[in-house]
Structure 1
Amino acid sequence: MIRPLILFVAALSLLIHGPAQAYGRYAHGAIARIALANAKPATRAAVSAMLARTGLLETPTCPAKTPEDASVWPDCIRAMGDRFNYTGPWHYQNVDICKPFDLTSACANGNCVSAQIDRQVKLIQDRSIPLREKIAATVFLIHFVGDLHMPLHAGDRSDRGGNDVRVAYGLYAPERLNLHGVWDGAIAERALTTPPSLERRYADAERAAITAGTVADWSREAWTVSRDTAYALAQGGDPCGPKPTGRVTLTNESLAKAVEPQRLQIERASLRLARLLDEAFDPARAFTPKPRD
């Protein structure tokens, strides 16, 4: 049991001392690679063409020419101050896990991740949108589908997606360690390094089963994982029990139970991103808005 502890502590150390990134570069990058491997060849070519022109975004400190860089660009630009601070609410939707699922109240004025996913697809399809905006929409879409499937971006208990829930892993308990951060980084990395590899070309039947439904359906699914796995494991099985007043101790056994749900969420995010990219860049779905009266 020593090796898992060492690996976990190393992952947490990178998470705590590195730049804050929703769902981490490791998970976002993997989702982008799997998605493009499962997208249509024409879609891959279109995305590559968009990424090749990301210099038009004029964010030299936040490059986006590779799928991996593009997958975390929307996090990187949040450090650029007033230019992009309005995008902060686009990365999540805090739907209370202890009340009936209500996406509407969590998405006022389109300021939530599910609404922004639908918006980016439409921006790419809209023939009247300038190239620079289409490039930004492509990069945002790659990132936001990953964010939607991170359970603690989809459901919470009025605790900022678990950011206010302090946790410890055995004796490892730095002040900044919280439930959200563990799911963003360490559990995602553990899920991706657990065999068999998720980075592969999936069969048509597998893709069809996983990609069915709408963004709202996927939101409810991620919200359920937040309730039944993330919060349940952190609260001894009762996700809606009394909120902890001190640190929550996560054991290796409880974290092991999170690996398969996290793997499934990464798999879902990857294949659903492939589907949305295919739809966004499908010439048959492109449209020109009707002139306003």
Structure 2
Amino acid sequence: MIRSLLAALALAASLIATPALAYWEWGHETVATIAYKNVKPETRRAIDRLLARQGLLETPTCPAKTLEQASIWADCIKPLGARFSYAYNWHYQNVNICKPFTLKGNCPDGNCVSAQIERGVKLLQDKDVPVREKVMALAFLTHFVGDLHQPLHAGDKGDLGGNRARTDYGIYGPERLNLHSITDGWLAERAISTPPALTIVYPEEERARESAGTVEDWSRENWQAAHMAYEAAFDGDPCRADLPARGKLDDADIEKLVPMMRAQIKRGGLRLARLLDEAFGPPPPEQPRR
């Protein structure tokens, strides 16, 4: 009883004190750890060599000495203001869960998370890109693959990715709690801390299966996962006209969503591993000219 009370008080306090970082630290770091453990050895060495040059970023308050640190760099630099303000829209894509899936029109001029994932791989593959830009590309890529696999960065319903969808989490319901912060933090932490551990070396067959597809395929999958989160929070069809003013995830809803979140975190790590192997591996064959 005392332990439960202390846990409740700790969670309530953290709701007040914790800054609203995308996927929070643990989600991004877990995706990065899975990737680092599952890349090829030569890719791991290339990552380490590149991150040894992280000083070129000139962001001493936001280090990127390891892939885990690099995974949260793109959030850490937000308070630096105008210097990196161009990247704000790169963390998400507003694809309406109440309409058919499409990225067309939802990624203006490449300013969305899926386009920036593809751009990051190309920058790392380009031998003419300066080292500083490659370090930045690696940090952005690591973060954005994590963001894409936080479903509320991949789908919304005109509510800033669930930031305006006020939602209670179990018995906790402070006014500012919303569906985005829940999936970013409380639900992600519950998923990561539920056994068995996610940060392992996966069998080759599983790595290939889970990392298959394109960035657009992954976007569609996480858009569907976002629909699932809204559906759980608003007790059925989240696109109906008579939605309650406030959603709620009860214990049964949370138990149902945890496997989905675990799956997306694992896939994010294994997909990042695949992209890093491609980025640091032999250049792709040139396409024949038509």
Q: Indicate the residue corresponding to 2:249 in structure 1.
A: 250
Once structures 1 and 2 are overlaid, which stretch shifts more, 165-174 or 191-200? 165-174
> SS at the partner of 2:77?
helix
Q: Indicate the residue corresponding to 2:84 in structure 1.
A: 84
Q: Is 1:265 paired with 2:248? A: no
Q: Is 1:14 paired with 2:14? A: yes
Q: TM-score, normalised by structure 2?
A: 0.93
Q: How many residues matched? A: 286
Q: Indicate the residue corresponding to 2:283 in structure 1.
A: 284
- How far off is 1:158 after superposition? 0.3
Mapping 1:45-124, distance limit 5 Å: 45-124=45-124
Partners of 2:9 and 2:220 lie apart in 1 by 31
Q: Indicate the residue corresponding to 2:232 in structure 1.
A: 233
| 2:234–2:248 Cα contact (<8 Å) kept | no
Do the aligned partners of residues 84 and 252 (structure 1) sit closer, same or farther apart at CA in structure 2, a change above 3 Å counting? same
- How far off is 1:218 after superposition? 0.4
Do the aligned partners of residues 252 and 34 (structure 1) sit closer, same or farther apart at CA in structure 2, a change above 3 Å counting? same
Once structures 1 and 2 are overlaid, which stretch shifts more, 130-139 or 64-73? 64-73
- Equivalent residue letter for 2:251: N
The Cα offsets for residues 183-238 of structure 1, whole Å up to 9 and x where unpaired, read as 000100100111111111111110111111100000000001111x2011011021
- How far off is 1:245 after superposition? 4.8
- How far off is 1:16 after superposition? 4.3
| 2:24–2:184 Cα contact (<8 Å) kept | yes
- How far off is 1:8 after superposition? 7.0
Partners of 1:169 and 1:151 lie apart in 2 by 17
Mapping 1:135-146, distance limit 5 Å: 135-146=135-146
Q: Indicate the residue corresponding to 1:291 in structure 2.
A: none
Mapping 1:194-209, distance limit 5 Å: 194-209=194-209
Partners of 1:112 and 1:237 lie apart in 2 by 29
Do the aligned partners of residues 245 and 253 (structure 1) sit closer, same or farther apart at CA in structure 2, a change above 3 Å counting? closer
> SS at the partner of 2:98?
coil
Partners of 2:9 and 2:104 lie apart in 1 by 38
Across the aligned residues of Structure 1 and Structure 2, the Cα RMSD in angstroms comes to 2.0
Q: Indicate the residue corresponding to 1:175 in structure 2.
A: 175
Q: TM-score, normalised by structure 1?
A: 0.92
Do the aligned partners of residues 6 and 252 (structure 1) sit closer, same or farther apart at CA in structure 2, a change above 3 Å counting? farther
The runs of 5 or more residues in structure 2 that have no matched partner are none
| 2:28–2:72 Cα contact (<8 Å) kept | yes
Do the aligned partners of residues 246 and 189 (structure 1) sit closer, same or farther apart at CA in structure 2, a change above 3 Å counting? same
Q: Indicate the residue corresponding to 1:290 in structure 2.
A: none
Do the aligned partners of residues 133 and 224 (structure 1) sit closer, same or farther apart at CA in structure 2, a change above 3 Å counting? same
Partners of 2:115 and 2:4 lie apart in 1 by 38
- Equivalent residue letter for 1:281: F
The runs of 5 or more residues in structure 1 that have no matched partner are 288-293
Q: Is 1:210 paired with 2:210? A: yes
> SS at the partner of 2:68?
helix
| 1:94–1:161 Cα contact (<8 Å) kept | yes
Partners of 1:75 and 1:41 lie apart in 2 by 28
- How far off is 1:170 after superposition? 4.6
Partners of 2:242 and 2:53 lie apart in 1 by 48
Q: Indicate the residue corresponding to 1:34 in structure 2.
A: 34
| 1:36–1:44 Cα contact (<8 Å) kept | yes
Partners of 1:246 and 1:9 lie apart in 2 by 26
> SS at the partner of 1:95?
coil
| 1:12–1:185 Cα contact (<8 Å) kept | no
> SS at the partner of 2:240?
coil
